């Protein structure tokens, strides 16, 4: 599979504050890749670099094998962009915005896809976008992307401000569209349950670097939560790069790891942790994310 | 081009109507003053005050085009900067330079249409009662004010599109200095000798917004 997005050795700083260094990743054609990370790990920075609205300190991003900074404008026909907060032109109404965008995408614009989604919104065709709720605006933004019918979708925090109903509607519509048409998606979201329903692959970012990048199912199959009993009042002093965020609460040790049960037991023994009854649990994506990145 | 003009039209249509009515109203009011003086004191008095006391009767218009230009830039570009909506515009499959130029061209065209209407009104009405030397004196005196309107629009666009507040403040100071040139003298026809250079000076300001767009694309904040 060829890479639709290829970012190599990205480094970016805001002033002297390092966001990340030497970050590289690829998004293969036909895959949905979710970028997960705590606030400040550089998700929006990455989206901004990918959309061409931020020049990284060093490194290069290519989309459809063209450098983003010098991309042929016509190539943007094949990239659907959803800005954080579902921002759209506030001064237009549902019909005007469709008429405006349609002229830029001759031959590929699918008016019916837009109006099919708009029919689900209980708003008049002449209602201004400025008077819509965030949920309604998200449907307008999604409808426009579906009508544009691009090969690549870049979605920045698509679930922000949406109630569960609109979130589900957005995810279901998007997934159906992407899978039916073999589109490529790069997205971020704060709501990890939505990501789990949507993504094929995920990148989990930590401060300054990528913590892991792998297919979602592989991640869920390999990362586990481990719990064990430790003596009451035991002061845990454990520093092992293979064991993520170990903590003790009321005699219960908890940690996360990609290692199998036996290997974790071995690591704990080598570290001299007096634990008993070591258990391994499977996780959903949210638990895996918190386990790997920590609660704080 | 029609696509971008459609967007700009949707954004500014009500303001454009207001701008046209305002400038026509001020120009009309200046001509009413001319007719009132003529009715009270006769045409010869009008000629006399225009030649000996530098009266031009449309002096109320002096800052009107400038204010109209500044407000047009606000109406046109503040919605683009709201929640960084400009990202949507720059994501359209058209070269960024073309997009910016089309947006500015729309604003410049709107100001020019307004100015031409004002000039036609003043020229047509004044030419009924004044010699060509006198009514052209009115128009040539007003011309730098209309150029200031264009300059104000272009400078305000540059300031609004600038992504960083600190740089915006610097831009505002520069813009004030640039605009001052248009209002150094209030003598009628003070700028006649320089009008072609003045026009070129105003046109050069067109390129400033591109600097802001480049900075926006680099993610300056």
Selected residue with higher pLDDT from A96 and A239: A96
Best of A10, A54, A74 to disrupt the B interface by mutation (most B CBs within 10 Å)? A54
Q: A54 and B91 in contact by Cβ < 8 A?
A: no
**Distance separating alpha carbons of residues B107 and A220, to the nearest angstrom:** 55
Q: A103 and B217 in contact by Cβ < 8 A?
A: no
Q: Do domains A3-218 and A223-293 have the same CATH topology?
A: no
What domain range includes position B109?
Answer: 2-217
A28: β partners: A3
Over the stretch A141-168, which tens digit does the pLDDT of each residue have?
989 999 999 999 999 888 887 788 878 8
Give the residue on B whose Cα is nearest the Cα of A102: B3
pLDDT at A283: 92
- Binned at pLDDT 50, 70 and 90, residue A208 comes out as confident
**Distance separating alpha carbons of residues B7 and B10, to the nearest angstrom:** 5
- Asked if the model's pLDDT at residue B221 lies above 90, the reply is no
pLDDT at B140: 92
Lowest mean pLDDT among A154-163, B77-86, B103-112, B196-205: A154-163
B78 Cβ under 8 Å from any chain A Cβ = no
Instruction: Provide mean pLDDT across the span B116-121.
Output: 96
DSSP class of residue A91 equals T
Give the residue on B whose Cα is nearest the Cα of A70: B95
- Asked if the model's pLDDT at residue B2 lies above 80, the reply is no
**Distance separating alpha carbons of residues B192 and B95, to the nearest angstrom:** 38
Instruction: Provide mean pLDDT across the span A240-266.
Output: 91
- Asked if the model's pLDDT at residue A198 lies above 70, the reply is yes
Q: A89 and B3 in contact by Cβ < 8 A?
A: no
Residues of B in contact with A92 (CB under 8 A): 7, 10
For chain B, how many structural domains are there in total?
A: 1
pLDDT at B155: 97
SS3 A214: strand
- In chain A, the percentage of residues whose pLDDT exceeds 70 is 99
- Asked if the model's pLDDT at residue B109 lies above 80, the reply is yes
Selected residue with higher pLDDT from B67 and A122: B67
Whose CA is closest to A178, among A8, A29, A19, A49? A29
CA distances from B56 to B49, B61, B130, B149, B200 (A): 9, 11, 11, 19, 26
- Provide the edge-to-edge strand list for the sheet that holds A224-229: A244-249, A252-257, A224-229, A276-281
Q: Which residue in the set A52, A89, A103 is minimally distant from B217, CB to CB? A: A52
Instruction: Provide mean pLDDT across the span A20-32.
Output: 91
Q: A81 and B2 in contact by Cβ < 8 A?
A: no
- Asked if the model's pLDDT at residue A207 lies above 90, the reply is no
- Binned at pLDDT 50, 70 and 90, residue B1 comes out as low
Separation in Å, CA of B78 to nearest CA in chain A: 11
Give the residue on B whose Cα is nearest the Cα of A103: B3
pLDDT at A44: 87
- In chain A, the percentage of residues whose pLDDT exceeds 90 is 51
Exposed e or buried b for every residue in A176-191, given b needs 16+ CB within 10 A? ebbeeeebbbbbbbeb
B67: β partners: none
Domain A3-218 has what CATH class? alpha beta
Summary mean pLDDT of chain A:
89
- Binned at pLDDT 50, 70 and 90, residue B20 comes out as very high
Residue numbers of B between 96 and 155 with CB closer than 8 Å to A: 96
Instruction: Provide mean pLDDT across the span A81-87.
Output: 88
B6 Cβ under 8 Å from any chain A Cβ = yes
pLDDT at A1: 58
Tokens of A276: 């008993």
- Asked if the model's pLDDT at residue A178 lies above 80, the reply is yes
- Binned at pLDDT 50, 70 and 90, residue A138 comes out as confident
| CATH placement of domain A223-293 | 3.30.70
Q: B10 and A96 in contact by Cβ < 8 A?
A: yes
Q: Which residue in the set B3, B79, B87 is minimally distant from A104, CB to CB? A: B3
Q: Which residue in the set B2, B79, B93 is minimally distant from A76, CB to CB? A: B93
Q: Which residue in the set A74, A77, A100 is minimally distant from B6, CB to CB? A: A100
Over the stretch A98-111, which tens digit does the pLDDT of each residue have?
999 999 999 999 99
**Distance separating alpha carbons of residues A61 and A48, to the nearest angstrom:** 11
**Distance separating alpha carbons of residues B189 and B215, to the nearest angstrom:** 39
Sign of the dihedral through C-alpha B70, B71, B73, B79: positive
**Distance separating alpha carbons of residues B149 and B111, to the nearest angstrom:** 8
Q: Return the HEC string of B75-123.
A: HHHHHHHHHHCHHHHHCCCCCHHHHHHHHHHHHHHHHHHHHHHHHHHHH
- Asked if the model's pLDDT at residue A295 lies above 80, the reply is no
Instruction: Provide mean pLDDT across the span B92-111.
Output: 95
Residues of A in contact with B88 (CB under 8 A): 81, 83, 87-89
**ipTM of this predicted complex?**
0.87
- Asked if the model's pLDDT at residue B91 lies above 70, the reply is yes
From the centroid of its chain, how far is CA A110? 26
pLDDT at B189: 80
- Binned at pLDDT 50, 70 and 90, residue A11 comes out as very high
**Distance separating alpha carbons of residues B44 and B65, to the nearest angstrom:** 30
Selected residue with higher pLDDT from B72 and A42: B72
């Amino acid at each position: 599979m060829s890479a639709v997005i290829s970012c190599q050795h990205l480094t970016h700083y805001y002033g002297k504050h390092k966001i990340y260094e030497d970050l590289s990743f690829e998004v293969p054609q036909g895959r949905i890749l979710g970028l997960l990370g705590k606030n400040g790990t550089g998700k929006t920075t990455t989206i901004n670099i990918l959309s061409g609205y931020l020049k990284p300190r060093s490194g290069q991003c290519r989309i459809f094998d063209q450098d983003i900074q010098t991309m042929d404008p016509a190539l943007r026909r094949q990239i659907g962009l959803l800005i954080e907060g579902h921002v759209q032109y506030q001064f237009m109404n549902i019909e005007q915005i469709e008429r405006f965008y349609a002229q830029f995408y001759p031959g590929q614009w699918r008016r019916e896809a837009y109006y099919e989604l708009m029919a689900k919104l209980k708003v008049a065709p002449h209602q201004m976008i400025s008077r819509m709720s965030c949920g309604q605006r998200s449907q307008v933004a999604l409808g426009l992307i579906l009508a544009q019918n691009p090969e690549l979708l870049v979605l920045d925090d698509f679930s922000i401000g949406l109630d569960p109903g609109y979130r589900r509607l957005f995810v279901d519509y998007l997934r159906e569209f992407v899978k039916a048409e073999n589109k490529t998606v790069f997205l971020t979201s704060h709501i990890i349950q939505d990501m789990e329903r949507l993504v094929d692959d995920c990148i989990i970012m930590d401060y300054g670097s990528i913590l892991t990048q792998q297919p979602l199912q592989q991640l869920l199959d390999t990362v586990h939560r481990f719990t064990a009993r430790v003596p009451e009042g035991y002061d845990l002093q454990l520093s092992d790069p293979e064991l993520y965020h170990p903590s003790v609460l009321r005699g219960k040790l908890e940690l996360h790891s990609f290692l199998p049960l036996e290997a974790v037991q071995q690591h704990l023994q080598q570290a001299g942790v007096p634990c008993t009854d070591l258990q391994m649990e499977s996780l959903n994506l949210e638990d895996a994310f918190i386990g790997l990145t920590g609660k704080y | 081009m029609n696509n971008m003009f459609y967007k700009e039209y949707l954004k500014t249509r009500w303001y454009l109507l207001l701008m046209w009515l305002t400038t026509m109203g001020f120009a009309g009011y200046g001509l009413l003053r001319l007719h009132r003086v003529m009715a009270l004191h006769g045409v010869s008095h009008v000629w006399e005050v225009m030649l000996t006391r530098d009266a031009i009767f449309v002096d109320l218009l002096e800052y009107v085009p400038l204010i109209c230009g500044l407000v047009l830039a606000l109406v046109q570009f503040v919605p683009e900067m709201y929640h960084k909506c400009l990202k949507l515009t720059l994501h359209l499959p058209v070269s960024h330079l073309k997009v910016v130029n089309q947006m500015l061209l729309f604003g410049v065209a709107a100001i020019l249409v307004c100015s031409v209407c004002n000039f036609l009104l003043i020229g047509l009405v004044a030419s009924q009662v004044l010699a060509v030397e006198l009514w052209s004196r009115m128009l040539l005196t007003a011309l730098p004010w209309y150029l200031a309107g264009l300059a104000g629009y272009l400078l305000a666009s540059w300031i609004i599109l600038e992504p960083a507040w600190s740089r915006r403040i610097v831009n505002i100071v520069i813009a004030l200095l640039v605009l001052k040139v248009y209002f150094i003298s209030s003598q009628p026809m003070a700028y006649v000798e320089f009008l072609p250079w003045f026009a070129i000076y105003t046109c050069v300001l067109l390129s400033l917004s591109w600097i802001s767009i480049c900075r926006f694309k680099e993610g300056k904040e």
